[in-house]
Amino acid sequence: MSIIPQHKYTTTTPHDLFIATTPRPIPNGLTIEPTTHKGNNPPSLTISGPPLPIDPTLQSTWSHRAWVAGGCTAVLISLAKAAVGAANSHIWLQPILAGFVGYILADLGSGVYHWAVDNYGDASTPIFGTQIEAFQGHHKWPWTITKREFANNLHAMARAITFFVLPLDLAVNDPVLHGFIGICSGCIMLSLQFHAWAHGTKSKLPTLVVALQDMGLLVSRSQHGAHHRPPYNNNYCIVSGVWNEFLDNNKVFEALEMALYFKIGVRPRSWSEPNSDWTEVVEASPPVTVQ
């Protein structure tokens, strides 16, 4: 099974139309690098190019917005049922504690999912292929997540939340359970927005977001920045990041990788990194015109 991502990102300059045997510069400061190969397979062309300045793959569609609206509705219904049920039964502590547990477990879930899509599968993987391609391509151009529109970034998670949470909204009335479901599902759905903020410039982020990052309630820019430096196998959690230290110090993901390797013979992508497909390309500065 191939674990090399097939990026959809392309550039449009004519300089991209040749195969390089050595890295060659192009006007925007990027390079085109050859892909090394073994055996009789022909070399493939690896183009180090980010999305276009105005890229439709980064923009929200009405379908994206509809799914995000559906996910938000499902989460809000769950939270409302938790609040109403707590008020009617005069119990507040249990739903609040359940919500706190949901928040903590959402961070763990985000880390497990992030680890899996970073290291296994590719764009052709059933169901998860699009997410895998996006996460793996994100290592090459991490700054592009800050350019994704809100619904574009969240729609895949929102779709899953809609299908999972909405039936529970209709079937369950327990305020404690809804306290857990509402907070956990909401954090999971918004985790990619928390992730985007972790790549943002402090001066451009909302004051409240910066405060929550500094308090450790949202994953911080410095903590997530470590995930984008070699050896690229740590700090996977992207809600609050509270689990990162425990998971990394106890080598939990490394143990899972070894277990999977001995069980099914598949190597995680992090074992063979870094290479040019996962080495960050710094965002090119816009050209300056001198009058």
Per-residue model confidence as pLDDT tens for the chain (291 residues):
444 334 444 333 333 333 333 444 433 444 434 444 444 443 333 334 555 556 788 899 999 999 999 999 999 999 999 999 999 999 999 999 999 999 999 999 999 999 999 899 888 888 888 888 877 777 777 778 888 899 999 999 999 999 999 999 999 999 999 999 999 999 999 999 999 999 998 899 999 999 999 999 999 998 988 888 888 889 999 999 999 999 999 999 999 999 999 999 999 988 875 554 555 555 554 544 455
Q: How far is CA 122 from CA 18, 132, 141, in A?
A: 25, 6, 17
**27 exposed, middle or buried (CB, 10 Å; 0-12, 13-18, 19+)?**
exposed
Strand, helix or coil at 137?
helix
Strand, helix or coil at 272?
helix
Q: Give the residues across from 47 on adjacent strands.
A: 32
Helical spans, DSSP H, in 13-92? 62-89
Cα separation, 18 vs 284, in Å, equals 21
pTM assigned to the model: 0.75
Q: How many CA atoms lie within 13 A of 157 on its CB side?
A: 24
Query: CA-based Rg of the chain, rounded to a whole angstrom?
Result: 21
